[in-house]
Structure 1
Amino acid sequence: MSSPAETPPASTSPASPAFFTPPAPFSTVAVLLFDEIPLFEASVPIAVFGERRPGTPEFEVRAVAAEGGPVRTDAGLTLDAPYGLAAAEDADLVIVPTWRSPLSPRPPSPEALDVLRRAHARGATVVSLCLGTFVLAATGLLDGRPATTHWRYTDLLASMHPRVEVRPDVLYVDEGDILTSAGSTGGIDLCLHLVRRSYGTRVAGTIARSLVTPPHRAGGQAQYIDHPVPAPATGDPLGDVLDWALRHLEEELTVDALAARALMSRRTFDRRFRQATGTTPAQWLLHQRVLHAQRLLETTDEPVERIARRAGFASAVALRPHFRRRVGISPAAYRSAFGGPPAGALA
């Protein structure tokens, strides 16, 4: 069996020294299922830990009806979870795989929240996947800690739980005894990470191959988020100029030239621009160029060098640091994940 001492991958935050202790192998996994939850997310930890695979540990997975009785999914299917909350009291790993809705008028029950608090207090590893982070946040266990959830809901998580340090751009956060993940497949990433940190890369790789999924994905949520910077409406000079700029990104565009085209002084242009978009003209241009490069990587098989020039960068070398800073991975890695037919020559 491989050593559990593994280097944390890039998509996780480093464990906080104040909380982190070396992870012990786990064998008993309690999965807390709430009413009206999405079926796919609910099944993720069961799929990762519940199947018997040659060469991997046998985990005891307990599907727990966190609110008692059958569990109804958001698709109307009913699940007969065989365990009650008592089954989580001695589990090594307690997972909240998802939640019905962050804005649900039905909050998590006090009994379920107490089970999670007791699990943490006795030294179990407590995990939330996707929207399950809202349940974990309701326990108070995430106060003062970094955490993540699906990128669509990170702002809501921050507003509902201001004491949580929300990280919107990572696939998961490992704080040692508490871990949180991003959206649906981010839950798979985190579950494989749990295996990897306790049982090593070979075991995690075996499970990943069985699931036909990468054992580790590069980057974070940033590569999945559409980040359009709002532009002023067409029909006013500023909006018309920016619409023109979007059609000429491959050209050398300066802020002074855009201001002149809008028949404004540079100072007026800058002020109007910030009021309309919330950012500077230079940052808007850079952002739009990276977005254009993303779309070209998704829809064409042109070499990265050519795409860089079409997006207004001097070369692929000039594109890469800006692309990585905003998207989280290199242009070539992005194309590999989201692109169409492979190019004959990729940078």
Structure 2
Amino acid sequence: MNRTTLSLIAGATALAAVTGFAAVTSPDTSAPDTTATAAELPVERTSLTCPTPSVSDLAETTYTSFTPVTKGTGSDGKAELRPAVTESTDGEDAKDGKTGKASGKGDKDGKGEKEAKAFLTAKEPGKPLAEDVSGSDSPALVGTADGKFAPGWTVQQTTEVAAGTGRGLLGAACTAPDTDFWFPGASTAADRTDYVHLVNPDDSAAVVDIELYGRDGALETTTGEGITVAPHSDDPVLLSTLTTEKLDNVTVHVSVRSGRVGASVQALDDKLGGDWLGASVDPAGSLVIPGIPKDATAVRLIAFAPGDADADLKVRLASPTGQITPAGNETLHLKAGMTGAVDLGDVMRGEPGSLVLT
């Protein structure tokens, strides 16, 4: 991605100001404390999903796996990434073209299917392990880690595309499957080709709804409800096929009716290149978005206010010399259920920094 331009389209920008405050009362210290202290145990199992990295024949992808050393985990365990495809026992690959969809072959009880060969197997906690893959046939991956490999297991997916739409360096952390995701910063504009990738790691199908929100609220969609994602598959959905509206700034909401999926948005711009959008963090009273490079000349903040209440954001910039207020963009008002955006331009003026929202 051209690093002289930057959209703050990490989902963290979106849900910062819509929070509630709980009243807290002090306990009666005159009464004896009978609360039992719960034992803290290491995580025993971790699941991750990695979307299909690219459809370009020029793509070069590196997966990096790492688990920190954690006390109390014992000596057993493993961490593996496997292709999100299903193979039948007759030796015929059940992958449906380049979409990664499972064909559903095999017995209803699953006995007619066999597990795909592991693409990456971690060797030892505390030491990173990397595997490379080339071309457009690279499938989505589903990973599980247990025992000593489970606590803190992470996988980074980095793809270099030399030319064409979406060229550049695309990076994403493989995500845990869940049932609800928000992605500010997507687009249905003519010069953008944005996909939401839905990776189903389980043995049963998942049913997913996709909602889109623009500057005036929810967009009318045609095929975003009841999307069935086959077991062990990655279903990439082109956002521009869900609505007739062409908007630069769109928020995507992925909700799962049944099952669970890993979700990521791949944003591909005809001129600027491409990158992955991670899902937003949970709403918070304050938020820091790091990573604005010093040579960024076109910075855009994209935000979304969920719920029924409007939100007012105070915008600050954290630079090596302290926090400053961007002239003319001190605050951002967000109407409930609507996507807001503000162009900050050459906001860092030659210094790397972070955006601070409260």
Q: Fold-level match, TM-score > 0.5?
A: no
TM value normalised by structure 2? 0.26
Higher RCO (CA 8 Å, separation ≥ 6 residues): 2
Structure holding more helix per residue: 1
Select the structure of larger CA radius of gyration: 1
